[in-house]
Amino acid sequence: MIRPVTLCFPLVYLILTMAGVASHAADPQAGFQGYPEAPAFTVLPREAPLKNYPCMRCHDFLKVKTEPRQLRAPHPELDHGAGRFWCLECHDPENRNSLRTTPPIATNSNEIHTLCGRCHATQERDWYFGAHGKRVGLWQGEREILDCVRCHNPHQPAIQPRKPQPPPAVRSGLERPAGRPEPVVPIWEQAVDGLEQPREQQHE
Amino acid sequence: MVWNNHENSNMSDQHDVSTQSAGTVTVPDPHRRRLLKQLGIAGAAGTTAASAPAWGGSTLLDALGGFFQDQYQRMSPSEIEAALARIERKAKRDLGVDIHCDNTPPQAGVVFGYALNVSRCRGYRDCVQACIQENNHGRDPSSTAYIRVLELDHGQMNLEQADQYYDPETVPVPGKYYLPVQCMQCADPPCVKACPVEATWMEPDGIVVVDYDWCIGCRYCMTACPYWARHFNWKQPTIPADQVNPDTHYLGNRPRPVGVVEKCHFCIQRTRKGRLPACAEACPTGARVFGNLLDPHSEIRYVLANKPVFQLKSELGTEPKFWYFTD
Amino acid sequence: MLIQNFFRDGCKELLRGGWMYRLWVGLLLLMIAAGGGFYLEQLDQGLVITGLSDQVSWGYYIANFAFLVGIAASAVLLVIPAYIFNRKDIEEVVLLGEAMAVAAVVTAILFVVIDLGRPDRLWHLIPLLGRFHFPQSLLAWDVLVLSGYLVLNCAISFYLLFCHYRGRSPVFGRYFPFVILAMFWAIGIHTVTAFLFSANSARPFWHGALLGPRFIASAFVSGPALLIVALQIIHRIGHLRVNRSVIETLALIMTVSLQISLFFVGAELFTDFYNTGSQHVASSKYLYLGLDGFSGLRPWIWTALTLNGIAVTILMIHPLRRNLVTLNTACLLAYCGVWMEKGMALVVPGFIPTPLGEIFEYLPTVSEVIIATGCWAVGVLLFTLLVKAGAPLELGRLHRTDGEQDVVAANGPSGGPIPTSSAQ
Ligand code: SF4
Ligand code: SF4
C-alpha cells in the first residue's frame, strides 16, 4: 500500500525547491519540516470555541461519503476552493476529529498551517517569515503569530467586506465641499471608445 | 544608510549630551543656562498677566516653568523630570486624568521600519481608529488623524485621483484599492531641515519626533513634507476623560497644546518598549509589518528582500522608512 | 545728551501736524486697534479663527509677508542710483526709500509673527538662547536676513539723520560700506524669501528655479509703484521736495521690471501647460483654469494679470508714462496686480492640491482679513511717522538746538507742482 505521505513527496519537494531551501530537505521521507532559517515563533491558536466538535460524535456512526453534496446544518457553508473542495480535502476521512496532516483539531495544535500550506505554499512561506499573517504583542523578543484560522474561516476563507470606520474630519469650523472629482475613465475604456477624446490624466 | 551611525552611539547618556540625527553633538551651554535662569526671574512679573490664555489656566509656577522649558535634546535629566511632572499635572488639571508620561530612551541597535502590504489592505480604517485612541487625538472630531487611507482606482497611481473620505456601505469597493499613508519617518526628512527652531528631529531609532513644547507653530514643516503627514492643532484638542490613554511619552502621545504641529511617531510610547504600534496591532488583515531594520532576521527585512516593494515619491530623495509591498 | 535730544525732538515733531495728519494717524490707530482685538481672539482660540487648514496651512498672512518683503527689497532701487550712479536728485529722497524698507520689513516680520501658532515661544528663535536651526532651515535664513536688513536700514538712516541733526555732513567712509552691504542684502532678503518657497520639493508649484527671479522682478514693480505715489503725496503735503526726474527713473525701472515679470509668468505658463503630465500642472491648472470644478482663484489671477497687462500698456506708451495721472493709474494697477499675483495667487496654489492629491480650497475669514489690515496699518503708520520725523531732519529744519530753545522750522513748505528738471 502506498502511504499518503509518499504521495505528497513530489509536491513537498516542489515547494521546497521553489522556496530555495531544497538543501534543507535532506530527508525527503520526513516531509515538510518548516523553514529552519525563519525566525523562531510560537503560534497563538484559535480562541473561538468549536461548535460541533468532536466530529466523531456523529461521524463515528455515519458512513463516509466521498462525493460532494449539499451540506446541511449544523455544518457551516463551504466556500473554499471555488467549488473544487469537499470536506474530505482537509478533514481526515478516518478520523474527522483530525485534519489530514494535523493532530486532532481541538488540541489547539499550531500545525494547521501545514495543511493550508499544501495549497497555499507561498502564503505559508511568507507566514513563516512574517510577510503574511499577523504578529501580535511585541515586535521584539518572542515572536507570537496568529494561526491561519484566526483570520480566515477555513470554510469561507475570504475576508468579508464590511463598513469602514468613519472618514477623517477636516479642521473644525470648515466644511468639505460636497461632490467628488470626476471619475477618471480608465485607459482601457478610452481605448474602447477608439481614443476619440484624449484625456489629460496620465500615470505618474 | 544614514541611520547606521547611531548603532554605536551611547544611549545611556542620551539626555546628558544630546545626540542629534545629523550626528552632531550639542553640549549644554552653562552660560546660556544661567542667562535663562536670570531671565526667568526677571521675566516672572512680566509674563504673569499674559500667561492665562496661552497656558490654559495653569498655575503660575507651571506656566513659568513651561515658558522657560528648554528644548528636549538639551534638557538635563532633572529638567526632563520636571517637564514630565508638569505634563502630568497639566493633564490632571485640564483633562481630569492621571496620566503617566515617560521618557523611554531609544534602544541601541534599533532603527524602526514599516512595510505595508497593499494587496492585503482593504480600506477598513481600523488602523486610523486605533491610532486616534492610542495617541490621544482630539475627539471633537479632530483633523489631526495621522493615517490617511487613500482609495484609488485600479490602474491608477495618480494621487490626485485619490479619495481619502470614502465612506461606502462596505469596503473594499470593487475596482478600487487602498493605500494608507502616514509619516514615512524619512531618513532624509525635509521637515527636519525646514524647522527653524529644531523642534523636530530624527531620534537615533529613526523616528522623527516633535517637541510639542518647543514648536513655535510656523507650519513650515507641513509645507516641506511631501506626504502630508504633519498636522496642526488649530485649536486646543479636547478628549473626554474616559477616552484618554494614560500611558504616554514626552515625544509621543501626551496631550498636545494648541498651536503646534504633530505627526505619526510610530507609537514611540509602545515601540520603545518592544510593543507593536497601535495601527499594526489593529489591522485585521495583517497588512502591516513593523520591525527593526538593523536586524537581518526581522520580518521587515524579509519583506524588503523578498517582496516587490516601493516607496511613495521615492524620487524626491526623502528615503522613507515606510515601504509598500505586494504579495 | 545729544542722542536723547535727537529722539525727543523727533517725537515732538510727530505730535505736531494739521488735522489731516491727525485724522490719518487716528484712522490707522483705529485699524490697528481692530486688528489687535481680533488678534487677541486668535491668541485665545488658536488659528482656528482663520480659514487655514491642514490642507492649506499658509494663507493670507504669508501671502502678505511675501509681498512685503518685495517692497522692502525694492528700496534698493533708490539706493543704487543714489550712491552708485551719484544721482543727486535721488539721493535727496533716498531716506524715504529707507523708511519704506524699515516699515515694510517690520510689517513683514509682523505677518510672520501673527501666523505663528505659538508666538509666546518666539524666543526659541534667538540664537544661543533658543535653538536657531541655521543654516539648514530656510526660515531661519529668512529670520536672519530680515532682522539684519532691518538693523542695517535703521542704522544707516539713523546715522544720516543724526548727522543732519548735528549739522555735520556724514562721513562717506562710515556709511558707504553699509550702504553697499544693504544693497546686496536687499536682493538677499527677497531671494531667500523666494527660496523659502522654492526649496520645497514637496510643492511642485513652487519648486522651480524661476521663482527667485520672478520674486525680484515683481518686487521691482510693486516697490517703485508704491514709491512713485508716496513721493508725490509727500511732495504735495510739503514735507520734501521731490524732483520729477526721480519719478521718471522709477517709472522706467517699473516698466522694464513689469515686462520681465510678465515674461516670466508666460514662461511658467508654457512649461506648465505644454506638457500636460507634469506635476506642476495640477496647481497651475487650479489657479488659471480651475481643477475638478474648483476654481476659487481663477478670477483672482485673471484680474491680477489684467491689471498688470493694462499697467504695462500704459507704461510702455511714453506720453502716458510721463503724464502723472496715467502714471499713477498704472502704479495703482500694477501694485494691486502684483499684490494679488505674488500674494494669494502664489502662496495658496502651492497647497492645492495637497501632496496627497486633495483639493481643498481656502478663503480667508473676516477676522483674518481684519488682523492683516491691522498689520498693514502698523506698516503705514510707521512709514508716516518715519517720514514725518525724518523729513524735517533731512531738510535741516529740525536740527540741534541749544538748551531750551525750541525747534524752528527753517524752510518754507515745498508744495506746488513737482518741479521738472533735467532728468537723465
Ligand atoms: S513623511 Fe513628512 S513628516 Fe514624516 S519624516 Fe518624512 S517629511 Fe517628515
Ligand atoms: S511648525 Fe513647529 S515643528 Fe514645524 S517647522 Fe515650525 S516650529 Fe518646527
pLDDT in tens, B16-49: 333 334 334 344 444 444 444 444 444 443 443 3
Question: Looking at residues B205-211, what average pLDDT do you find?
Answer: 97
Domains in chain A, number: 1
Which chains pack against A, by 3+ Cβ pairs within 8 A? B, C
Count of A-B CB contacts under 8 Å: 134
B34 touches chain C (CB under 8 A): no
pLDDT of residue A104: 67
- What is the residue whose three cell numbers read 497593499? B118
A46 inside domain: yes
Please tell me the residue having the least CA distance from ligand 1 atom 2: B225
- CA C107/CA C376 separation, integer angstroms: 7
Segment B124-161, tens digit of pLDDT: 999 999 999 999 999 987 789 999 999 999 988 889 88
- CA A122/CA B306 separation, integer angstroms: 12
The amino acid at residue A24 is H
Q: For the purposes of burial, counting CB atoms within 10 Å of the CB of B74, is it exposed (0-12), middle (13-18) or buried (19 or more)?
A: buried
Q: Is B325 in the pocket of ligand 1 (CB under 6 A)?
A: no
Using pLDDT thresholds of 50, 70 and 90, give the confidence band for residue C67. very high
- Pocket test of ligand 1: the residue of B191, B193, B198, B264 to mutate, having most ligand atoms within 8 Å of its CB, is B191
A3 inside domain: yes
Q: What percent of chain C has pLDDT over 70?
A: 93
Give me B55's grid cell: 497656558
What residue spans define the domains of chain C?
A: 45-395
pLDDT of residue A97: 82
Residue of C57, C276, C281 to mutate, testing the A interface (most A Cβ within 10 Å of its Cβ): C276
| Residue in A172, A176, A202 closest to C48 by CB | A172
**C293 to chain A: closest CA residue:** A181
Is the confidence at residue C301, as pLDDT, over 80? yes
Sign of CA dihedral A148, A120, A70, B174: positive
pLDDT of residue B45: 39
Which DSSP state fits B303? H
3-state secondary structure of B256: coil
ipTM surpasses cut 0.85: yes
Q: Which residues of B touch A136 (CB under 8 A)?
A: 276, 281
A161 touches chain B (CB under 8 A): yes
Segment C101-115, tens digit of pLDDT: 999 999 999 999 999
pLDDT of residue C418: 57
Give distance in angstroms: CA of C141 to centre of ligand 2.
15
| Cβ within 8 Å, pair B161-A181 | yes
**Which H helix or E strand runs over C374?**
helix C366-395
Alpha-carbon separation of residue C387 from B108, C77, C199, C231, C384 (angstroms): 63, 18, 37, 11, 5
Please tell me the residue having the least CA distance from ligand 2 atom 5: B195
**B278 to chain A: closest CA residue:** A137
| Residue in B141, B166, B299 closest to A135 by CB | B299
pLDDT of residue B279: 97
Question: Looking at residues C217-245, what average pLDDT do you find?
Answer: 91
How far apart are the CA of B292 and the nearest CA of chain C, in angstroms?
27
How far apart are the CA of B154 and the nearest CA of chain A, in angstroms?
8
Poorest-pLDDT segment among C214-218, C246-250, C397-401: C397-401
Question: Looking at residues B94-112, what average pLDDT do you find?
Answer: 95
Q: Is B209 in the pocket of ligand 1 (CB under 6 A)?
A: no
From the centroid of its chain, how far is CA A127?
10
- CA C142/CA C281 separation, integer angstroms: 28
pLDDT of residue B17: 37
Which residues of chain A, if any, have pLDDT below 50? 1-2, 4-26, 204
pLDDT of residue A56: 85
Q: What is the dihedral of CA A93, A96, A102, A106, to 10 degrees?
A: 180
| Cβ within 8 Å, pair A202-C360 | no
Is the confidence at residue B206, as pLDDT, over 70? yes
Q: Is B206 in the pocket of ligand 1 (CB under 6 A)?
A: no
Between strands B247-249 and B25-26, the pairing is: unpaired
| Cβ within 8 Å, pair B216-C143 | no
- CA B200/CA C129 separation, integer angstroms: 17
Give me A161's grid cell: 467586506
Summary mean pLDDT of chain B: 86
pLDDT of residue A200: 56
pLDDT of residue A103: 65
Buried b (16+ CB within 10 A) or exposed e, C91-130: bbbbbbbbbbbbbbbbbbbbbbbbbbbbbbbeebbeeeeb
| Cβ within 8 Å, pair A176-C294 | no
Using pLDDT thresholds of 50, 70 and 90, give the confidence band for residue B3. very low
| Cβ within 8 Å, pair A170-C55 | yes
Beta-ladder partners of B151 = B163, B178
Segment C141-161, tens digit of pLDDT: 999 999 999 999 999 999 998
pLDDT of residue C291: 87
C285 touches chain B (CB under 8 A): no
Query: What's domain C45-395's architecture?
Result: Up-down Bundle (1.20)
Domain of residue A49, residue span: 1-67+75-158
Q: Is B280 in the pocket of ligand 1 (CB under 6 A)?
A: no
Per the CB < 8 A criterion, the answer to whether C78 and C223 are in contact is no
A87 inside domain: yes
Q: Which residues of C touch A173 (CB under 8 A)?
A: 48
Using pLDDT thresholds of 50, 70 and 90, give the confidence band for residue B1. very low
| Cβ within 8 Å, pair B232-C128 | no
Summary mean pLDDT of chain C: 90
Q: Which ligand is nearest to the CA of B191?
A: 1
pLDDT of residue B50: 38
> Per the omega criterion (within 30 degrees of 0), is the bond before A45 cis?
no
Query: Which tops the pLDDT comparison, B216 or A193?
Result: B216
- Pocket test of ligand 2: the residue of B73, B210, B215, B231 to mutate, having most ligand atoms within 8 Å of its CB, is B215
pLDDT of residue A62: 84
| Residue in C54, C279, C359 closest to A171 by CB | C54
Which chains pack against C, by 3+ Cβ pairs within 8 A? A, B
| Cβ within 8 Å, pair A138-B275 | yes
Q: Is B263 in the pocket of ligand 1 (CB under 6 A)?
A: yes
| Cβ within 8 Å, pair C131-B234 | no
Q: Is B190 in the pocket of ligand 1 (CB under 6 A)?
A: yes
pLDDT of residue B53: 39
> Per the omega criterion (within 30 degrees of 0), is the bond before A74 cis?
yes
pLDDT of residue B15: 40
pLDDT of residue A90: 87
A29 inside domain: yes
Q: Is B115 in the pocket of ligand 1 (CB under 6 A)?
A: no
Give the other-Cβ count within 10 Å of C398's Cβ.
Answer: 24
Query: Which tops the pLDDT comparison, C76 or B55?
Result: C76
- CA B235/CA B285 separation, integer angstroms: 35
How far apart are the CA of C412 and the nearest CA of chain B, in angstroms?
47
pLDDT of residue B190: 97
DSSP-assigned states of every residue in C118-185: -GGGGGGGSTTTS---TTT-HHHHHHHHHHHHHHHHHHHHHHHHHHHHHT-PPPHHHHHHHHHHHHHH
A48 inside domain: yes
This prediction's pTM: 0.86
pLDDT of residue A88: 86
Query: Which tops the pLDDT comparison, B298 or B10?
Result: B298
A194 inside domain: no
Question: Looking at residues B107-125, what average pLDDT do you find?
Answer: 96
Q: Is B184 in the pocket of ligand 1 (CB under 6 A)?
A: yes
pLDDT of residue A30: 64
Give the other-Cβ count within 10 Å of C296's Cβ.
Answer: 17
Q: Is B312 in the pocket of ligand 1 (CB under 6 A)?
A: no
